[in-house]
Structure 1
Amino acid sequence: MGHDLEAAARVAEAAADVAAAVIRPFFRERIGIVRKGDASPVTAADRAAEKAIRALLSERFPEHGILGEEFGPEREESPFQWVLDPIDGTKSFITGRPSFGTLIALLHEGVPVLGVINQPITGERWVGLAGRPTRFSAPPGLAAPCGTRQDVALADAQLSCTTLDLFTAETRPRWERLAARVAQVTWGGDCYAHGLLALGTVDLVAETTYKIWDWAAIVPVVEGAGGVITDWSGRPLRPGADGSVLAAGSAALHAEALAILSGS
């Protein structure tokens, strides 16, 4: 897509700006523990942000499809599909932790070619385009070079996971075998952990139950930073994926972690 992909990235970043302006007033509203329902502030933030993103994308790319977590699909027949998660990391958001993010992705014939991870509170942003280095921008004090760590042994690796609650009786023992082999496990983070992997401060992320809006934007970001991301069987993440995700900073680390998760 070349030049067109750069143009799409500019629109995606503008959409991230619009969503951030919608989300910020809801942050740390002391909404407490809520069940996501029609009247909750977190849902109000989700829905308002997704509507803002959809409006901008539909204006600039009226022929493209859009799939969002809150409002479902439009124009499913288009080879170009935008995939949106306005607030990935709801539990972090409602407890006032700035480790959630807005995810905006573009898929071409099912392949993620553009991904934006935007943190509306800290101002950190990752932009991944297929075949190009991932770009990271942040305010002074948070700026860092973008690129995964390529020389980390499994025993020295930092593994991130959102929560053990999402594993099943079948997947949890596999994940625990991996966790027993690394230097440290940290918890929480959702999409933010993948952003940190792209910065080289996290080396592995292993999760399950991801929906397409959870992983679509992450794929170009991780790959453009030098990492590898697949499901737990080593397959590329594509529509219809089983929800398992393994991201690693290097191909060698990915292969070693994959062998443990798959039991080979």
Structure 2
Amino acid sequence: MTQHADRIASLASEAAMGHFRGRLGIEFKDDESPVTHADKSVETMVRSYIETHFPDHGIFGEEHGFAGADRDDIWIVDPIDGTRSFLSGHPLFGFLLAQLRNGVPQLGVIGMPALGETFIGVRDQGATLNGQPIHVSEQTRLDDAILFVNEGDKIYRDHPGIFDRLMQSGRTRRFAYDCYPHALLAAGHVDVVIDFDLQAYDYLPVSAVIEAAGGIITDWDGNALGLGSDGRVVSAATPELHREMLELIHR
């Protein structure tokens, strides 16, 4: 399965880079988020690969929806995570893939096409970056942690109290978007990430990578993530750090 995941990530990366910083056809969805021809073409290619090699599996993709939702095995696809980054020439867009069995992620991929990095996590088998093992940090104290705040503008808008507490937390904090901070956490460079307003195709692939790397990722109430989660996410390197973040959120 890992070989297939790596091959899919390679094909998706090649397809995305064929459009990156080129002339993009841009549309806007009903929620005003942009979608490019690149998103659609990458997902179409990935779905074709999965349908060929795993005809009995279901597929849920951001651009083309659900096929085979009643299957035990389901693939989750986000062809370009960070379309706003992609269309503005910013290299920190990603490709996300997960394989679920009975709703539980078994494998996750975070591909970073412009960086040439592919993070793969397999349940109970560990995580890798370009084939080399990675692991989360051992940080246990929020005061000493490197904290990334994803979707900070939305958190500020909807939860100003939490935002204020975040601004007083961590040894170092950065604002970001999309999947890369979670990948950096899996590799041990970042200690905690708080995220907001995600969809299943955003958080399930990264959850598989983070958990395989030894980290913890839940919703803001500490519940395991699934297809029906509300999109508010906390990733942490250690149980102690995760607990501190949940206490901060609910203070």
Is this a same-fold pair by TM over 0.5? yes
Tell me if 1:64 matches 2:57. Answer: yes
Question: In the aligned structure 2, how far is the partner of 1:48 from the partner of 1:169?
Answer: 34
Question: In the aligned structure 2, how far is the partner of 1:47 from the partner of 1:210?
Answer: 19
Identity %: 37
The answer to whether the Cα contact below 8 Å between 2:109 and 2:209 also exists between their aligned partners in 1 is yes
- Please show how residues 158-197 of structure 1 align to structure 2 within 5 Å: 158-167=146-155, 169-197=157-185
Deviation string, structure 1 residues 100-156 (Cα, Å, up to 9, x no partner)? 110010111111111000111111011011112111118xxxxx8621111342112
- Please show how residues 121-140 of structure 1 align to structure 2 within 5 Å: 121-137=114-130
TM-fit CA distance, 1:238: 0.7
Question: In the aligned structure 2, how far is the partner of 1:174 from the partner of 1:77?
Answer: 38
Q: Which residue of 2 aligns with 1:149?
A: 137
TM-fit CA distance, 1:163: 2.9
Tell me if 1:36 matches 2:28. Answer: yes
Deviation string, structure 1 residues 50-78 (Cα, Å, up to 9, x no partner)? 00000000000001000000000001110
Query: 190, 195, 213: which is aligned to 1:202?
Result: 190
Runs of 4+ in 1 over 6 A off after TM superposition: none
Question: In the aligned structure 2, how far is the partner of 1:110 from the partner of 1:195?
Answer: 22
Q: Which residue of 1 aligns with 2:18?
A: 25
Question: In the aligned structure 1, how far is the partner of 2:157 from the partner of 2:177?
Answer: 23
Question: In the aligned structure 1, how far is the partner of 2:209 from the partner of 2:111?
Answer: 11
Moved more, 169-178 or 151-160: 169-178
Q: Which residue of 2 aligns with 1:225?
A: 213
> Which is richer in strand?
2
Question: In the aligned structure 2, how far is the partner of 1:66 from the partner of 1:119?
Answer: 21
The residue type equivalent to 2:40 in the other structure is R
Tell me if 1:84 matches 2:71. Answer: no
Q: Which residue of 2 aligns with 1:211?
A: 199
The answer to whether the Cα contact below 8 Å between 1:209 and 1:242 also exists between their aligned partners in 2 is yes
Query: 237, 244, 247: which is aligned to 1:256?
Result: 244
TM-fit CA distance, 1:26: 1.4
Query: 214, 219, 222: which is aligned to 1:234?
Result: 222
User: Which ranges in structure 2 are unaligned for 5 or more consecutive residues?
Assistant: none
Q: Which residue of 2 aligns with 1:3?
A: none
The answer to whether the Cα contact below 8 Å between 1:103 and 1:213 also exists between their aligned partners in 2 is yes
Q: Which residue of 2 aligns with 1:55?
A: 48
TM-fit CA distance, 1:189: 3.9
Q: Which residue of 1 aligns with 2:231?
A: 243
Question: In the aligned structure 2, how far is the partner of 1:173 from the partner of 1:111?
Answer: 33
User: Which ranges in structure 1 are unaligned for 5 or more consecutive residues?
Assistant: 1-7, 139-143
- Structure-2 change in CA distance of 1:43 and 1:176 (3 Å): same
TM-fit CA distance, 1:162: 2.9
Count, aligned residues: 249
